[in-house]
Amino acid sequence: MSYKLAATDDLGFCHILLSALGGDGANMAAKLLFKIGCTEFGLDGGYDARYGSEKKGTPTDVSVRFCAIGTAIRQSGPTNTPHFLVVFHADLIVPLELGRGLYPGAVCIVNTVESPRRIRDRLRLHSGKLVCVDATRIAFETRSRLNMPLLAVLSHELRFPDELVKQKISRQWPAAVERNLASFDRALQGVQTETYAFDGAYSLARPSATRGPIGWRNMLNGGTVDALYHTTAGRDNRVAARGRVPEFEPESCTSCGICLTVCSDPGGLLWKEGRMVGIDDRFCKGCMRCVEVCPETKKGKALTVPNGNGHATAEITPAAKGR
């Protein structure tokens, strides 16, 4: 299938950067995008993902570089000069300085309920196109994941045919076809777009050194948790859990602590004064590992899989409020 890259640098590369948090599915979405580019359009390029502990809400960088077949590949690792930027959490624009390194005329896709005008100010965008979409709500309401509405908008902006991408998504995640395609369609119908020519409001910001290639000068020591990069600001795992968190019955709980040993995000389990008191759905990923190990007592299991369809709740559980 013939395809022309929407933008390239001097070396012939189109740079795409996805900025997310562990558990958002940015890596999976970018891998699928890369596969489509290479297998359907005969592109070449590079792929790189940086991620760390999901438990700490670690920001995740996923970079995709596309180029035409035959282009000498001289770059590897993460990109810090995107033509296309996808922001999974608008609250991380400022702390991660996501506006730095953007090419003039870059396309920025942002998960937000704010207007493109306000997002432009946060990004300090020199020039380019802002596409704002309320991906969090779409993911909640369709019970897909945050990566799906954002992949829809990104592939559309890259001019990948929508129907082809939907076909690939269906093959990749056969158990969630309906939810994912509903999310895809709603995202494309729900964007707010504005294009800005250079008007002098913001100058081009040089790429951030900390987002450049990792080398001996800027590498973190093993095991170091960088407070800025590992912030939980703006994090909302209710999207990752798709509204399904275990049900907790305090009467049946012996506070044995076995659930703590398996929880993929111990912040999901609320403990007070040595006793298990509930689930915090801001942090629970809904993996149900704790349900599997919670022992059956005479009163039954304290943790169980929720009944019904597990629709997302926007409320924090009462136990979490009292934290």
Out of 182, 288, 316, 319, the residue judged to bind ligand SF4 by CB under 6 A:
288
Closest separation in Å from C-beta 61 to ligand SF4: 24
Instruction: Identify which of residues 182 and 256 has a Cβ nearer to ligand SF4 in the complex.
Output: 256
Out of 290, 312, 317, 320, the residue judged to bind ligand SF4 by CB under 6 A:
290
- Pairwise CA distance, residues 34 & 3, whole Å: 14
Out of 32, 132, 287, 312, the residue judged to bind ligand SF4 by CB under 6 A:
287
User: Looking only at residues 210 through 269 of this chain, which bind ligand SF4 when binding is defined by CB under 6 A?
Assistant: 245-246, 253-259, 262-265, 268-269
Torsion of CA 135, 137, 143, 149, to 10 degrees: -20
Helix (H) or strand (E) holding 142: helix 135-142
Interaction of residue 289 with ligand SF4, rule CB under 6 A: yes
- Pairwise CA distance, residues 88 & 240, whole Å: 12
Interaction of residue 38 with ligand SF4, rule CB under 6 A: no
Interaction of residue 277 with ligand SF4, rule CB under 6 A: no
Out of 63, 285, 312, 317, the residue judged to bind ligand SF4 by CB under 6 A:
285
What pairing do the DSSP bridges indicate for beta strands 43-50 and 59-68? Answer: antiparallel
Closest separation in Å from C-beta 164 to ligand SF4: 35
User: Looking only at residues 297 through 316 of this chain, which bind ligand SF4 when binding is defined by CB under 6 A?
Assistant: 302-303
Is the Cβ–Cβ distance between 71 and 13 less than 8 Å?
yes
Is the Cβ–Cβ distance between 106 and 84 less than 8 Å?
yes
- Pairwise CA distance, residues 215 & 202, whole Å: 30
Closest separation in Å from C-beta 140 to ligand SF4: 17
Instruction: Identify which of residues 115 and 313 has a Cβ nearer to ligand SF4 in the complex.
Output: 313
Smallest Cα–Cα separation from 140: which of 269, 218, 238, 234?
238
Tokens of 258: 């076995």
- Pairwise CA distance, residues 33 & 20, whole Å: 16
Three-class secondary structure of residue 267 per DSSP: helix
Closest separation in Å from C-beta 66 to ligand SF4: 35
- Contact positions vs ligand SF4 (CB under 6 A): 245-246, 253-259, 262-265, 268-269, 276, 279, 284-290, 294-295, 302-303
